[in-house]
């Protein structure tokens, strides 16, 4: 006898929630064929019952309190699409797991911060905790790392994990406009929120990187160990200088295994213009993984939006309908490693440094002396002609210079930048961007 339908309760009917209902209904036959049983929505919960969402919810059980989904006898799987690391979203997931109900979520913040304890709860309950939609929208990167690459020892994972930042940086390069103008346009187009801080300050990408690092290196998720910087201080001048030097600027998430442990960091990077990651433009995301045997892989696609993210949610539902039960982090909680988190100060790489300095003799000598004393080796320098007069001294112009270093230790570079910023000949706060091979 064929199994009965898998009954779904969805909490949150925003863009992704409504999209999930549409995908389940539009592709019902295809989904049933691939899942071996029908997958149907039976109950929903959202703030405003009367709001138009472009879907018919009249035949569904409606719960004003999302937590009621966890005990609804007509719900087999709870789909949490509320968002946020705390509050109702966390309470619902914990309640569902306590009731031995499988959970599917797109909540990157919840998984990045509480994923270790939630996975342990799911293991004790013997049910799935699935979160493919939490990272990179429709790109199936969770399954790729946890299952497709399970036989390999990964050395690095990361990439472009936030479409809003990638759109802004792309537009800055293509139009020559500065950050504030492009951000305003992104908000008008719906690519950025009214409060864009989670995106442009790197927090969204850091949530995703913490998840990827845990999967790639088989250790408990550690959001607190991720170094996070955003793109607010990237100016049109930096975009232009990067282009002149043969680079493009991208906000990257980077997780790398070394003999010391695992480094996890999110920050703007200069990457060679010819590198595949540099060609990923606009709102697209790309995830790169490198393994001992598989080599380098890159998955690219839309990292957000109703269709891509809903497709990932439904993919998890199909796995549950089939009876698939894979540990959330690829291994049981007790089998995960305790790899050391390498502090940012110990990371190494090349650096781009943009300075605004007085146009007078001896300036370069002062700056290079600081670099020398801090153990930083200079690779190249760009200096363009005299610019506007300095506001405090009309007899001396202010000129931009760009320095590119050889590989050095982060702590050494930070010390050098601090000392350079204190020089009387430096007129503005230095801009430092790390250089990655791509």
Query: What average pLDDT score do residues 65-81 get?
Result: 96
pLDDT of residue 394: 45
Check residues 53 and 389 and name the one with the higher pLDDT. 53
Q: pLDDT tens across 418-427, in order?
A: 999 999 999 9
Check residues 51 and 225 and name the one with the higher pLDDT. 225
pLDDT of residue 392: 52
pLDDT of residue 56: 85
Residue percentage of the chain with pLDDT more than 70: 97
The alpha carbon of residue 175 and the mean position of all alpha carbons in its chain are separated, in whole angstroms, by 25
Check residues 44 and 189 and name the one with the higher pLDDT. 44
Is it the case that residue 58 has pLDDT exceeding 90? no
Q: How are beta strands 103-105 and 129-130 bridged, if at all? A: parallel
Q: pLDDT tens across 290-321, in order?
A: 999 999 999 999 888 888 999 999 999 999 99
Structure tokens at 110: 């919840």
Cα distances (angstroms) measured from residue 300 to each of 140, 288, 341: 10, 9, 28
Q: What does the alpha-carbon distance between residue 292 and residue 435 come to, in Å, rounded to a whole number?
A: 24
Angle value at C-alpha 28, between 22 and 33, nearest 5 degrees: 145
- Given a contact cutoff of 8 angstroms between Cβ atoms, the answer to whether 94 and 121 are in contact is yes
- Given a contact cutoff of 8 angstroms between Cβ atoms, the answer to whether 309 and 163 are in contact is no
- Of 33, 35, 34, 45, nearest to 79 by C-alpha is 45
Q: Other CB atoms closer than 10 Å to residue 49's CB: what's the count?
A: 11
- Of 139, 167, 172, 171, nearest to 297 by C-alpha is 139
pLDDT of residue 396: 62
Q: pLDDT tens across 208-244, in order?
A: 999 999 999 999 999 999 999 999 999 999 999 999 9
Is it the case that residue 430 has pLDDT exceeding 80? yes
Structure tokens at 399: 């000129």
Query: What average pLDDT score do residues 40-60 get?
Result: 87
Which CATH architecture best describes the domain 144-302?
2-Layer Sandwich (3.30)
348-435 belongs to which homologous superfamily? ACT domain (3.30.70.260)
Q: What does the alpha-carbon distance between residue 324 and residue 80 come to, in Å, rounded to a whole number?
A: 19
| Strands of 39-45's sheet in order across | 61-62, 39-45, 6-11, 77-80, 103-105, 129-130
Q: pLDDT tens across 270-294, in order?
A: 999 999 999 999 999 999 999 999 9
- Of 305, 168, 295, 153, nearest to 235 by C-alpha is 168
pLDDT of residue 395: 44
Query: What average pLDDT score do residues 133-154 get?
Result: 94
For residue 133, how many C-alpha atoms fall within 13 Å in the half-sphere facing its CB? 30
Residue percentage of the chain with pLDDT more than 90: 85
Q: Which residues are catalytic?
A: 208
Cα distances (angstroms) measured from residue 144 to each of 12, 111, 141, 242: 27, 18, 5, 33
Cα distances (angstroms) measured from residue 257 to each of 44, 216, 251, 299: 42, 9, 20, 20
Task: Please give the mean pLDDT across all residues of the chain.
Answer: 93
Listed by start position, the domains of the chain span 6-134, 144-302, 348-435
Bridge partners of residue 20, in order along the sequence = none
Q: Which CATH number does 6-134 carry? A: 3.40.50.720
Q: Which stretch of 163-167, 369-373, 381-385 has the lowest confidence by average pLDDT?
A: 381-385
pLDDT of residue 338: 86
The length of the chain, given as a count of residues? 438
Q: 197-203: long-range contacts at Cβ-Cβ below 8 A with a sequence spacing of 24 or more? A: 199/162, 199/164, 199/165, 200/164, 200/165, 200/168, 200/230, 200/231, 200/232, 201/228, 201/230, 201/232, 202/162, 202/165, 202/228, 202/229, 202/230, 202/231, 202/251, 202/266, 202/267, 203/228, 203/230
Query: What average pLDDT score do residues 433-438 get?
Result: 93
pLDDT of residue 386: 56
Q: pLDDT confidence of 368, banded at 50, 70, 90?
A: very high
């Amino acid at each position: 006898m064929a199994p009965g339908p898998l009954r779904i309760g969805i909490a949150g009917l925003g863009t992704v929630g409504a999209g999930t209902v549409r995908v389940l209904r539009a592709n019902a036959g295809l989904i049933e064929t691939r899942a071996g049983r029908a997958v149907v929505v039976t109950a929903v919960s959202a703030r405003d019952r009367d709001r138009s969402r472009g879907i018919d919810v009249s035949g569904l059980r409606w719960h004003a309190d999302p937590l009621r989904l966890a005990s609804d006898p007509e719900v087999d799987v709870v789909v949490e699409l509320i968002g946020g690391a705390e509050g109702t979203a966390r309470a619902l997931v914990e309640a569902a797991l306590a009731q031995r109900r499988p959970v599917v979520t797109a909540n990157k913040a919840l998984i990045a911060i509480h994923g270790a304890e939630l996975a342990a709860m799911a293991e004790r309950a013997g049910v799935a905790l699935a979160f493919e939609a939490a990272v990179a929208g429709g790109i199936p990167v969770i399954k790729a790392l946890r299952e497709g690459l399970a036989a390999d020892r990964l050395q690095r994972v990361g990439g472009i994990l936030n479409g809003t930042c990638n759109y802004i940086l792309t537009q800055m390069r293509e139009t020559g406009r500065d950050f504030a103008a492009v951000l305003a346009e992104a908000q008008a187009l719906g690519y950025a929120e009214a409060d864009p801080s989670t995106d442009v300050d790197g927090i969204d990408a850091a949530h995703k990187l913490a998840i990827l690092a845990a999967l790639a290196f088989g250790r408990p998720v550690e959001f607190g160990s991720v170094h996070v910087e955003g793109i607010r201080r990237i100016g049109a001048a930096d975009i232009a200088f990067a282009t002149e030097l043969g680079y493009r600027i991208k906000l990257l998430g980077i997780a790398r295994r070394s003999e010391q442990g695992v480094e996890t960091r999110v920050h703007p990077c200069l990457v060679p213009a010819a590198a595949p990651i540099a060609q990923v433009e606009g709102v697209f995301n790309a995830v790169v993984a490198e393994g001992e045997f598989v080599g380098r892989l890159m998955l690219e696609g839309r990292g957000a939006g109703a269709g891509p993210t809903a497709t990932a949610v439904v993919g998890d539902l199909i796995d549950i309908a089939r009876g698939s039960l894979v540990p959330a982090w690829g291994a049981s909680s007790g089998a995960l490693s305790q790899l050391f988190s390498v502090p940012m100060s110990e990371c190494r790489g090349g650096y781009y440094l943009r300075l605004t300095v007085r146009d007078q003799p001896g300036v370069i000598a002062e700056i290079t002396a600081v670099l020398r004393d801090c153990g930083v080796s200079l690779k190249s320098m760009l200096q363009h002609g005299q610019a506007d007069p300095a506001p405090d001294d009309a007899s001396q112009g202010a000129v931009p210079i760009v320095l590119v270093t050889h590989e050095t230790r982060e702590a050494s570079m930070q010390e050098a930048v601090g000392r350079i910023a204190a020089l009387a000949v430096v007129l503005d706060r230095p801009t430092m961007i790390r250089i990655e091979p791509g």
